[in-house]
Amino acid sequence: MLTDADLDALLSGLHADPFSRLGLHADDAGRLWVRALLPGAAEVALLDADSHKRIVELAPRRDGLFEAQVPRRKHRFDYRFAVRWAGGGEGVYADAYGFLPQLGGDELKAFAEGRHMRPWLMLGAHPVQHGDVSGVRFATWAPNARRVSVVGSFNNWDGRRHPMRLRHEAGVWEIFVPHAAEGDLYKFEVIAGNGELLPLKADPYARRAQLRPETASIVAPLPERTPLPRQRERANRRESAISVYEVHAASWRRAASGDFPSWDELAAQLPAYAADLGFTHVQLMPITEHPFDGSWGYQTLGLHAPSARFGPPEGFARFVKACHDRGLGLLLDWVPAHFPTDAHGLAEFDGSRLYEYADPREGFHRDWNTLIYNFGRTEVRQFLIGSALYWIERWGVDGLRVDAVASMLYRDYSRPAGEWIPNLRGGRENLEAISLLREMNEQVGDVEGAITVAEESTSFPGVSAPTYAGGLGFHYKWNMGWMNDTLRYMAEDPINRRWHHDKMSFGLVYAFSENFVLPLSHDEVVHGKGSMLAKMPGDPNDANEWQKFANLRAYYGFMWGHPGKKLLFMGQEFAQAREWNHAESLPWGLLEDERHAGVQRLVRDLNKLYREQAALHRLDCEPGGFEWISAHDAEHAIYAWVRRDGTGRMVIVVCNMTPVPRDGYLLGVPDGVTAWREALNTDSAYYGGSNRGNGVAAAGLPVQSQPAHGRPLSIAIHLPPLATLFFVPI
């Protein structure tokens, strides 16, 4: 019989190896014993699984522990327990302790050695079938725990019921729980190495979770592999037109009740809207599970679970398909830089600082009050890289926009002197994070067509250079310098812009040092920064705010004509008047105002021109795609340049950043063209402007042999106030 010491350890949940005592076991004399720990059971009988005949009644020992010697049997056999519960009801159950180890030695070894880049195939909750028994295989990494149990709706949240088996070679705990099923709630009950019972932990690899404030994980199937459609592979390349519509899914179009939209509601509206406006990609702010709405998803604890705010995960699959059906790529914000300290999450997961750096000088973010992943730890690296691959391979998204890369690259990020730890070479770079990002980008780069985009705000070299050339390996990098400089310029009263002329042109000094995306993101319309429209100068006595709208239209024209891929945050496409509020729907009623509707029409036409004119996108990231015509006319705040596609096709872009029209303005032009046609004018009445311009006559504007801007040829144009114009050859 079971010793009192073993009995006490099992009942207290402290037994080091419950699989050695529960289930079927032979004693030293070769006799078989069977034991079951079933708190709440009144009677337990052992059945033969094949014949269903009763073999023996188990005797109760104490507090739900039952045992018996098995008569007439000398070898292990398949069995079941017939249980009558004290509270009423009865059933026949397979025994979790009657099954052999679930995870193979090779995959555990690969995980321990850092070679398992898809650990979600092994860890987490996986519905499986063993013979005629269906159930769920649970596994979690907790190497410093004394005991781990899986608790949930299938065992009355009782940590005594399903203590897990420790696979010492990898620090992984595992168990197969018969009769657990898809949709069951679960967590892990962990006893730390010092004997402390920790708060129940959600599964780091959960593929579904409860809606906050509830925090349980939910058993969900592993999505099937979903490769990118072939046309999406081509659409993500550097030579393609990429114009991104950034969306906060919870506030894009919220119901009047204030409820979150479902994935299916979003799928029915958002892709069609973005495609109609000519965007090539939708980018979602983080939709991985997170506890606090006000973090906008950037403080996530569920790197493998689409947020329950929008319904079950299968709805997200339909949303991805809806985007692709509309010819749109889908990018997801992905956050490997930090995680929140919530007790049910990754913080001190097994009682030790497991996922985070141990020293707060490395492992705590002052800016966000969050924890920093231990980027050098093998299992943490696999967790993060695996998450990146999971969204791309299993959900078919086009790529990831990686948040807060700068905070990962530098150990002294937002830290005063003396409060950070230098790297092994004595420097400030986080070598482990750099190595992680390179490996992640190499792994994602092996998936045909998938891309990664870095939000990186420093001058760290080679962010979008390939790893074999010493770069980080991202496909694109947000151009934060361009965004900051140009927004500062646009905020100036036009009369002062002559003193800030280089803010608009300086970006061309480094424009081709990376594969840049020009971002006007959510960060520019929160925390008191005001809306894009509110940033624009204008006469405060002008009730119609014509200068504010004209400035914004001209700025959008400048952005779409500038080298670099484009990104615009939702609401900016129709000149949202107030700062974005994550708890409210976008103010769609503004589109009843022609000024706002005109800005929306302009964005649609800018996207159309950008896609149709190869010169505006094919060499976005190469110096051969750009040539200044006029970069130094600070007195008149005029900029002009040529965009080229490398095959002879050209587009001329001209910006007038003052409210003074310039009629008969001589613009130097490249040779080889006899006439130019105005293809888009942000001052058009169609967009809400004064309708000054150069018309759309078929004959266009003839090239004349009159020098201008250091060129022998020119065209005479009407340059409207606060406007950007695009000209194409005839």
pLDDT given at position 158: 93
pLDDT given at position 16: 82
How far is Cα 565 from Cα 399, in angstroms, rounded to an integer? 15
For the segment 65-114, what is each residue's pLDDT rounded down to a tens digit? 999 999 988 888 999 999 999 988 999 999 999 999 999 999 999 999 99
Whether 492 is catalytic is no
Q: Retrieve residue 266's tokens.
A: 């979003």
Query: CB neighbours of 368 closer than 8 A, spacing ≥ 6?
Result: 298, 299, 338
How far is Cα 297 from Cα 288, in angstroms, rounded to an integer? 7
CB 55 within 8 A of CB 48: yes
Q: Give the count of beta carbons closer than 10 Å to the beta carbon of residue 588.
A: 13
For the segment 622-643, what is each residue's pLDDT rounded down to a tens digit? 999 999 999 999 999 999 999 9
For the segment 369-413, what is each residue's pLDDT rounded down to a tens digit? 999 999 999 999 999 999 999 999 999 999 999 999 999 999 999
Domains 4-98 and 105-218 share a fold: yes
Q: What are phi and psi of 380, to 5 degrees?
A: -70, -40
**Which numeric CATH code is attached to 105-218?**
2.60.40.10
Whether 439 is catalytic is no
Q: Is the pLDDT of residue 256 over 90?
A: no
Catalytic residue from among 189, 398, 403, 432: 403
Average pLDDT of span 547-572? 98
> Is 101 strand, coil or helix?
coil
pLDDT given at position 543: 81
Asked if residue 213 has a cis previous peptide bond (ω within 30° of 0), the answer is yes
Q: Retrieve residue 58's tokens.
A: 């188990």
How far is Cα 205 from Cα 334, in angstroms, rounded to an integer? 15
**Which numeric CATH code is attached to 230-478?**
3.20.20.80
Fold of 623-729: Immunoglobulin-like (2.60.40)
How far is Cα 417 from Cα 219, in angstroms, rounded to an integer? 46
Q: Classify residue 197 by its DSSP letter.
A: B
How far is Cα 670 from Cα 713, in angstroms, rounded to an integer? 7
pLDDT given at position 697: 62
Q: Is the pLDDT of residue 300 over 70?
A: yes
Domain residue limits, the chain = 4-98, 105-218, 230-478, 623-729
How far is Cα 283 from Cα 479, in angstroms, rounded to an integer? 16
Average pLDDT of span 673-688? 96
pLDDT given at position 696: 62
How far is Cα 476 from Cα 465, in angstroms, rounded to an integer? 9
Q: Give the count of beta carbons closer than 10 Å to the beta carbon of residue 56.
A: 17
Specify the residue for token string 């073999």: 55
- Cα–Cα–Cα angle for 509, 513, 519, nearest 5°? 85
pLDDT given at position 669: 98
pLDDT given at position 257: 78
Q: Retrieve residue 238's tokens.
A: 């550097």
Burial class (CB in 10 A: 0-12, 13-18, 19+), 220: buried
Question: Is pTM, for the whole model, over 0.85?
Answer: yes
Confidence class for position 352, pLDDT limits 50, 70, 90: very high
CB 724 within 8 A of CB 653: yes
Looking at every residue in the chain, the average pLDDT score rounds to: 96
Q: Is the pLDDT of residue 695 over 90?
A: no
How far is Cα 330 from Cα 402, in angstroms, rounded to an integer? 14
pLDDT given at position 146: 94
CB 721 within 8 A of CB 659: yes
Q: Is the pLDDT of residue 699 over 80?
A: no
Q: Retrieve residue 419's tokens.
A: 């409060």
pLDDT given at position 520: 98
CB 305 within 8 A of CB 207: yes
Report the range of poorest mean pLDDT among 83-97, 225-239, 450-464, 564-578: 225-239
How far is Cα 548 from Cα 542, in angstroms, rounded to an integer? 10
Q: Retrieve residue 438's tokens.
A: 């390179």
**Best CATH choice for the domain 4-98 from the list 2.60.40.10, 2.40.37.10, 3.40.50.970, 2.60.40.1180:** 2.60.40.10
Catalytic residue from among 6, 184, 455, 683: 455
Average pLDDT of span 520-538? 96
pLDDT given at position 587: 97
For the segment 185-235, what is each residue's pLDDT rounded down to a tens digit? 999 999 999 999 999 999 999 999 999 999 999 999 999 999 888 887 889
Q: Retrieve residue 277's tokens.
A: 């406006």
For the segment 120-140, what is each residue's pLDDT rounded down to a tens digit? 999 999 999 999 999 999 999
Average pLDDT of span 457-482? 97
